[in-house]
Amino acid sequence: MKTSLRKFLTAAGFSLLAAGISTPASAQEVWKLGTAAMQGTVLYDIVMKFINDFNAAAGGELKLEYQHVGNEQEMHQQVVRGRLQAGASSFAGGAITVPEGAVFNAPYIWKNDEERAWVTDNHGTPVMKKLYAEKGLELIYVADVGWNDMVCKTACLTPESIKGQKMRVSPSPASRIVFKQLGANGVQMPLTELWPGLQSGLVVGADLPFLFYVTTPAAQSAPHYVMTRHYHHPSTFIVNKALFDGLKPALREKMLKALPDLAWARKQVADTEKPKMKEFVAKGGFVHELTAEQREAWAKVIRPGQAELVGAIGGKAQTVYDALMEGKKVWAAKYEKK
C-alpha cells in the first residue's frame, strides 16, 4: 500500500511539472512592486520607467510588475514579509516601519530645493539606507514626491484658519506635529479613510502633495489647495533585503542601473506641478499661492515644532537630524553666495 502511494505521488509530481505548474523557485521570476501611485500621475510614470527599464535589461531572467496598494504602511509591511518583493512610497509612508524617515519631513527645514536635494543625496540617504537595512529593507532610491500643502473645504489661508478645525493627521509624526502647532482638532486616519472622511464631514481638511492630491477624491470634496510648502516628501524605492541580497550580482547591478536619473525624476515632478494646477483651476478647483510673508506667518507657528518632532520620533532620529544639519552646513559653505 505504501509502495503504491509512493508511486502515485511520484507520478503526480511529474505530471504537475509536465503541466507547467509553478514551483516556489519559478514564482521568484515575477516580483510585484507595490505603490499608491496611480496611472495618470508623474509618480506612476517614474515607477513605470524603472519597471520597464529593468525588465528590458533583465532579459526575462526576472520581471517586475506594478501593483496598486492604497495603504502605504501596509505595503511596507508586505515588503518586509516578502509578500511583495518591492515598493515605491515615501519616508512618511514608511514611518511605521522606519520612523526616523519622518525627520526629512521636519517643517520648514529647507532653504530651497537645491539645498534639499544636495543634502538628501550626500548626507541623508546614506544614513537612511542603514536604518532601512536594519528593518529588512534595501533602500535603493530617494527622489521626490513633492511639497505638502494644506487641503481644505474652504480657503484656509492663514494659520489661524486651521485652529480648532477637524484635520486629518497622517501616521507620520511630522503631520502630528504640524497640526498640533496649528492648534487643529487632529483626527488620525490612514490615507484610504481620508476620502470618505472629507465627504462625510468627519474632517474638513488635510495636508497632501499636489500631484497626488489632484488624482484623488479630495480634489472634489476639499477643492482649496493652499501652497504653504510646510514640509517636503522624498520618494523612495525599496526591495526586500533578503531577496535583493540573494540576486545574482549581475542582475542586482541591472536593477540599480535601471533606476531613473535623480535630476530627471525631480525635474519631472517640478515641471508637472504647475500645468496640473492650471488644469485643476480650469475645472473649478482653487490653488492659493502665498507670498513669502504669508508663508513665513505659517512657518513662525509651525517651525518651533522641529525639536519636538525629533524627540517624538525617537530611535535614531537625532542621528538623522544631525546628519541633515551637518549637510546643510557643508552645502552652505560650498554653494551659498558670500
Name which of 12-26, 36-50, 68-82, 286-300 the model is least confident about: 12-26
Most distant pair of Cα atoms in the chain: their distance: 90
Q: Tell whether the model's pLDDT for residue 2 goes beyond 80.
A: no
DSSP labels for 76-94? HHHHHHTSSSEEEEETTTT
Domain count for the chain, please give it.
1
Bridge partner list, 34: 67, 87
Q: Would 6 be classed as within a structural domain? A: no
The reported pLDDT for the residue numbered 129 is 98
Q: Which tens digit of pLDDT belongs to each residue from 257-285?
A: 999 999 999 999 999 999 999 999 999 99
Q: Quick one: how far is CA 213 from the chain centroid?
A: 13
Output the domain CATH number for residue 244: 3.40.190.170
Q: Which tens digit of pLDDT belongs to each residue from 288-322?
A: 999 999 999 999 999 999 999 999 999 999 999 99
**Which amino acid makes up residue 224?**
H
Q: Would 18 be classed as within a structural domain? A: no
Share of the chain above pLDDT 70, in %: 91
Task: Give, as one character, the DSSP assignment of residue 261.
Answer: P
What pTM was computed for the model? Answer: 0.82
* CB < 8 Å & 24+ apart, contacts of 264-271: 265/46, 265/143, 265/144, 265/235, 266/113, 266/117, 266/143, 266/144, 268/42, 268/45, 268/46, 269/42, 269/43, 269/143, 269/144, 269/145, 269/146, 269/211, 270/113, 270/144
Question: What domain range is 298 assigned to?
Answer: 27-335
Q: Would 14 be classed as within a structural domain? A: no
Sequence-separated (6 or more) residues with CB below 8 Å from residue 65? 30, 31, 32, 33, 51
Task: Quote the CA–CA distance of 246 and 82 in Å, as a whole number.
Answer: 13
Q: Would 12 be classed as within a structural domain? A: no
Q: Tell whether the model's pLDDT for residue 172 goes beyond 60.
A: yes
Q: Which tens digit of pLDDT belongs to each residue from 179-195?
A: 999 999 999 998 889 99
Residues 159-171 have a mean pLDDT of: 94
The reported pLDDT for the residue numbered 170 is 85
Share of the chain above pLDDT 90, in %: 80
The reported pLDDT for the residue numbered 40 is 84
How many CB atoms lie under 10 A from the CB of residue 63?
Answer: 13
Q: Which tens digit of pLDDT belongs to each residue from 56-108?
A: 999 999 999 999 998 898 999 999 999 999 999 999 889 889 999 999 999 99
**CB contact burial 144-167 (16+ within 10 A = b; e otherwise):** bbbbbbbbbbeebbebebbeebeb
Residues 236-246 have a mean pLDDT of: 97
Q: Tell whether the model's pLDDT for residue 6 goes beyond 60.
A: no
Q: Tell whether the model's pLDDT for residue 4 goes beyond 60.
A: no
Q: Would 49 be classed as within a structural domain? A: yes
Name which of 16-30, 165-179, 221-235 the model is least confident about: 16-30
Q: Would 13 be classed as within a structural domain? A: no
Residues 170-179 have a mean pLDDT of: 87
Q: Would 15 be classed as within a structural domain? A: no
Bridge partner list, 149: 208
Q: Would 9 be classed as within a structural domain? A: no
Q: Tell whether the model's pLDDT for residue 178 goes beyond 70.
A: yes
User: Band of the pLDDT at 16, cuts 50, 70, 90?
Assistant: very low
The reported pLDDT for the residue numbered 338 is 55
Is residue 123 within 8 Å of 326, Cβ to Cβ?
A: yes
